[in-house]
Amino acid sequence: MVAGLTVSERQLALLVLGLLASGGLAMAAAGRGDPLGAHGFIVLIISVALAFLVLSRYHDPEPSQERLSEYYDDPTRVGIVLAMIWAVIGMFFGVWVSALLAWPELTFVDQAWASFGRIRPVHTSGVIFGFGGNALIATSFHVLQRTTRARLPDQFSPWFVLIGYNLFCIVAASGYLMGVTQSKEYAEPEWYADFWLVIVWVVYFAIYIRTLMRRKEPHIYVANWYYMAFILVVAVLHIVNNLALPISAGSAKSYTIWPGVQDAMVQWWYGHNAVAFFLTAGFLGMMYYYLPKRAERPIFSYRLSIISFWGITFMYMWAGSHHLHYTALPQWVQTLGMTFSVMLLVPSWASAGNALATLNGAWHKVRDDATLRFMMVAAVFYGLSTFEGSFMAIRAVNSLSHYTDWTVAHVHAGALGWVAMITFGSFYALVPWMWKQERMYSPKLVEVHFWLALSGTIIYVFAMWNAGIIQGLMWRTYNDSGTLAYSFIESMVAMHPYYIARTVGGLFFLAGAVVGFYNIIMTIRMARRGAAAPDSASDVPAVAVQPGE
Amino acid sequence: MGFDHDQLVAFAQKWGLLYFLALSAGVAIYALWPSNRKRFDRAKHSVLDKDDRPDGARHGKR
């Protein structure tokens, strides 16, 4: 990876790593006796290790000018592997934390770090940011170059984004285990990690803009719009929700600047748009590129894709308040969120329908090709969970579903059925292209992964649907004397079989991800053994970049 | 601040609605404008144009 950098980029890398190492050192010094200090050492060790890596290859020959007539895919390749590593870690923690609900003694060591409250965010951040984020970064670099027919603007900044982002993920996950958290859903990392992510994110957006400015296609393909909405809106959400004052420069602890119900509103404006722009817009970008590619059919209606893009980006912005039904939030704001959530069904189903209509005429491929089937199932689950989301946002439905496992079912129908399935489908399409192979190491294992993932999702979602509705009903059932018929603990006991079923479903899904990871690694090893197909230079941008850029 | 809560709410609700309607109309007009058809058609086919596969079989290459 260092060999792909020019000498001036290697110097820039060393400079940035030097600054990062001094930042880590400063954190370690200022944060003695505080988790901030531990994070300082983590940052220091990682940046010094990377600097050694750059130095060890510093005198390697520079990449030739011919590189400019090819796409720059090294960051995509590394990003795919990182995404799969995070998938296995994040899903493992998911299975563990779900098992804790069924068997609370499973903290093994009875240590604080293994308690539910600490390992749950390792699961959520691991799968959303570790797996999902790396998958988005890796595929966005690939899609951006192919659809604009332009090479990434330089070799350094994609690495800065990918490695910097993973540093954020490591600091986040290790912080949770030490008890560092802002206690905000999907925004748990503390102020210094948030600050670092802003820097990474600005560079990410700049890569997009710089590449688009040199594009050789007149029109910006719709997938790029989705990726750009993902990058831009996540930046805005992240900054606004994480405005906080640390109690001192040497402490990990900070307090948000938002008071009371405003904090709740800002948090769920953030939280729901994290679902919308992190887990939906970016992955729709994936779908709009890899699904037509794999099916070898153009998207059913390009116009519909534009209308649904603007519908989704506009309407999601207002939907967050449906998380705060029956709270101190003004009634009209709750109603606004509910109304926009219901209207969101239109652009969401337009996207899902567009994907399925694209497959019309290619159903024989869906039957034979597990990769395409992953994408088809993803589109179905996308349609399903967006319908469910609109439905649950209705105030009366929400009074039954809120605070129950129905919400957990809904989230996982989206996360397992839509986000993970479209990612696996895209990866199975992308990996052979990236490593110049005709196919994956084992198409049979892709098939195995598909059925493990699908059955795991179905077991999980049905278990949680049942659990959630039973919970909701038990909590609102009154007896003849007008008091609650069930105590809270009775509803917990009733959940036990569903929690076991949920853990089994999650285990299936994790097993599928492990199989997928193995298959990808074996495909890479196949490529290393020199089984490259001929004519690997067919994959080139339309016009070479000028060296000065 | 010259605004009280009710004024702010009235402002947000009225102009928010107009903003929403204007944006919807703008998007619909842009997407359905007849002369845009050509570039959309090109965009939707062009992603298939260039075959990524290392076997060099360039399906759909025009």
Closest alpha carbon within chain B to A532: B54
- Kindly state whether residue A34 falls inside one of the protein's structural domains: yes
The reported pLDDT for the residue numbered A540 is 52
Taking CB atoms and an 8 Å cutoff, what residues of chain A touch B20?
A: 314
Among A70, A95, A124, the domain-final residue is A70
DSSP-based three-state secondary structure for A465:
helix
Tell me the C-alpha distance between A316 and A312, whole Å: 6
Adjacent-strand bridge partners of A256 = A244
What is the 8-class DSSP label of residue A403?
T
Q: With beta carbons under 8 A apart, name residues in chain B contacting A534.
A: 54-56
- The whole-angstrom separation of Cα A17 and Cα A24 is 10
What is the residue-averaged pLDDT of chain A? 94
In a 3-state reduction of DSSP, which class is residue A32? Answer: coil
**A414 and A265 share one domain:** yes
- From the CA of B32, how many Å to the nearest CA of chain A? 7
Residue A71 to residue A153: CA distance in whole angstroms: 10
Structural domain includes residue A4? yes
Of A69 and A338, which is predicted with more confidence? A338
State whether A534 and B56 contact (CB < 8 Å).
yes
pLDDT band of B3, cuts 50, 70, 90? confident
Counting the structural domains of chain A, the total is 2
CATH number, domain of A437, equals: 1.20.210.10
Residues A62 and A88 in one domain: no
DSSP state for residue A297 in the 8-state scheme:
S
> Does the distance separating the beta carbons of B23 and A303 come in below 8 Å?
no
Would the pLDDT of A2 be above 90?
no
To the nearest whole angstrom, how far is the Cα of A278 from the nearest Cα of chain B? 23
Q: Are residues A430 and A465 in the same domain?
A: yes
In chain A, which residues have their Cβ closer than 8 Å to the Cβ of B24? 310-311, 314
Last residue of a domain, one of A42, A70, A98: A70
What is the average per-residue pLDDT within A524-528?
A: 95
- Contacts A–B by Cβ distance under 8 A: 91
Task: Using an 8 Å CB-CB cutoff, list residues of chain B that contact chain A.
Answer: 9, 13, 20, 23-24, 27-28, 30-32, 39-48, 50-56, 58-60
Looking at the fold, whether A128 and A235 belong to one and the same domain comes out as: yes
Q: How far apart are CA A282 and CA A268, in angstroms?
A: 19
To probe the interface with B, which of A69, A149, A299 has the most B CB atoms within 10 Å? A299
Q: Which amino acid is at A234?
A: V
B58 has pLDDT over 60: no
Residue A176 CA to residue A298 CA, distance in Å, equals 44
Closest residue in A to B58 (Cα–Cα): A538
State the CB neighbour count (10 A cutoff) for residue A402.
Answer: 18
Q: Judge whether A522 lies within some domain.
A: yes
pLDDT(A206) > 80: yes
Residue A44 shares a structural domain with residue A100: no
The shortest C-alpha distance from B3 to chain A (Å) reads 17
A10 and A92 in a single domain? The answer is no
Q: Which long-range contacts (CB under 8 A, 24 or more apart) does A159-163 make?
A: A159/A1, A159/A5, A159/A13, A159/A75, A160/A16, A160/A200, A160/A203, A161/A75, A161/A137, A161/A200, A161/A203, A161/A204, A161/A207, A162/A75, A162/A78, A162/A79, A162/A82, A162/A134, A162/A137, A162/A138, A163/A50
DSSP three-state, residue A246: strand
- Select from A35, A70, A105 the last residue of a domain: A70
User: Of the given ranges (A42-51, A98-107, A272-281, A533-542), which has the lowest mean pLDDT?
Assistant: A533-542
Task: Find residues 422-451 of chain A whose CB sits inside 8 Å of chain B.
Answer: 432-433, 436-438
For A73-120, how does the pLDDT look when each residue is reduced to its tens digit (9 = 90+)?
999 999 999 999 999 999 999 999 999 999 988 887 778 899 999 999
Contact: B54, A314; criterion CB under 8 Å: no
- Pairwise CB contact (< 8 Å): B56 & A438: no
CB < 8 Å to B45, chain A: 298
Residue A542, in any domain of the structure: no
Does A537 have pLDDT greater than 80? no
**B40 interaction partners in chain A (CB closer than 8 Å):** 219, 302-303, 306
Distance, CA of A166 to CA of A160 (rounded, Å): 10
- Measure in Å the smallest separation between the Cα of A306 and chain B Cα atoms: 7
Angle at A188 between CA A414 and CA A341, to 5 degrees: 40
As a whole number of angstroms, the distance between CA A73 and CA A152 comes to: 9
| Kind and range of the H or E run holding A245 | strand A244-246
Percent residues over pLDDT 90 in chain A: 91
pLDDT (tens digit, 9 = 90+) per residue, A221-258? 999 999 999 999 999 999 999 999 999 999 999 999 99
**Pair A269, A344 in one domain:** yes
Dihedral of alpha carbons A263, A269, A270, A271, sign: positive
Q: Judge: B47–A533 Cβ closer than 8 Å, yes or no.
A: no
In 3D, which of A37, A44, A42 has the Cα closest to residue A251? Answer: A37
- What residues contact residue A222 under an 8 Å CB cut-off, 6+ apart? A288, A299, A302, A305, A306, A309, B43
**Where in the sequence is the domain holding A29, given as residue range(s)?**
1-70
Which residues in chain A (290-319) have CB-CB distances under 8 A to chain B? 292-293, 296-299, 302-304, 306-307, 310-311, 314
Q: Token pair 């919308």 is at which residue?
A: A276
pLDDT at position A192 = 97
Residues A147, B47: C-beta atoms closer than 8 Å: yes
Tell me whether residue A545 is in a domain: no
Confidence band of A66 (pLDDT split at 50, 70, 90): confident
Half-sphere exposure of residue A128: CA atoms within 13 angstroms, side-chain side = 24
State whether A35 and A135 are in the same domain.
no
For residue A235, is it within any domain?
yes
CA distance A497 to chain B (A): 47
Confidence bin at B57 (pLDDT 50/70/90): very low
Instruction: Name the residue type at position A448.
Output: V
Q: Are residues A352 and A498 in the same domain?
A: yes
Q: According to the model, what pLDDT value does residue A534 have?
A: 47
Kindly tell me if the per-residue pLDDT of A152 is higher than 70.
yes
The DSSP secondary structure of A468-493, one letter per residue, reads: HHHHHHHHH-B-TTSSBSS-HHHHHH
Q: Is residue A377 located within the same domain as residue A469?
A: yes
How many Å apart are CA A455 and CA A441, to the nearest integer?
23
**C-alpha distances out from residue A441 to A295, A522, B41, B51, Å:** 20, 6, 36, 21
- Residue contact B59–A296, C-beta within 8 A: yes
Structure tokens at A292: 């037509």
Is A217 an 8 Å CB contact of chain B? yes
What the block records as the tokens of A536 is 């690997």
Give the residue with greater pLDDT, A542 vs A308: A308
Confirm whether A63 is domain-assigned: yes
- Do A44 and A92 belong to one domain? no
Q: Rounded CA gap, A434 and A145, in Å?
A: 13
Tens of pLDDT, residue by residue over A316-354, are: 999 999 999 999 999 999 999 999 999 999 999 999 999
Asked if the Cβ–Cβ distance from A433 to B53 is below 8 Å, we say yes
Interface test with A, best of B9, B13, B50 (most A CBs within 10 A): B50
**Contact assignment for B43 to A302 by CB distance below 8 Å:** yes
Kindly report, residue by residue over A19-54, the tens digit of the pLDDT.
999 999 999 999 999 999 999 999 999 999 999 999
Quote the tokens at residue A495.
Answer: 């959940």
* pLDDT value at residue A68: 85
Give the residue from chain B lying closest to A301, CA to CA. B44
Domain match, A57 and A77 both? no
Of A158, A115, A102, nearest to A500 by C-alpha is A102
Total number of residues shown for chain A: 549
Within a domain: residue A479? yes
Full-model pTM: 0.93
Contact between A299 and B28 using a beta-carbon 8 Å cutoff: no
Do A200 and A169 meet the contact criterion of CB atoms below 8 Å apart? Answer: no
Average confidence (pLDDT) over B24-42: 94
> pLDDT digit string (tens) for A166-175?
999 999 999 9
The amino acid at A527: A
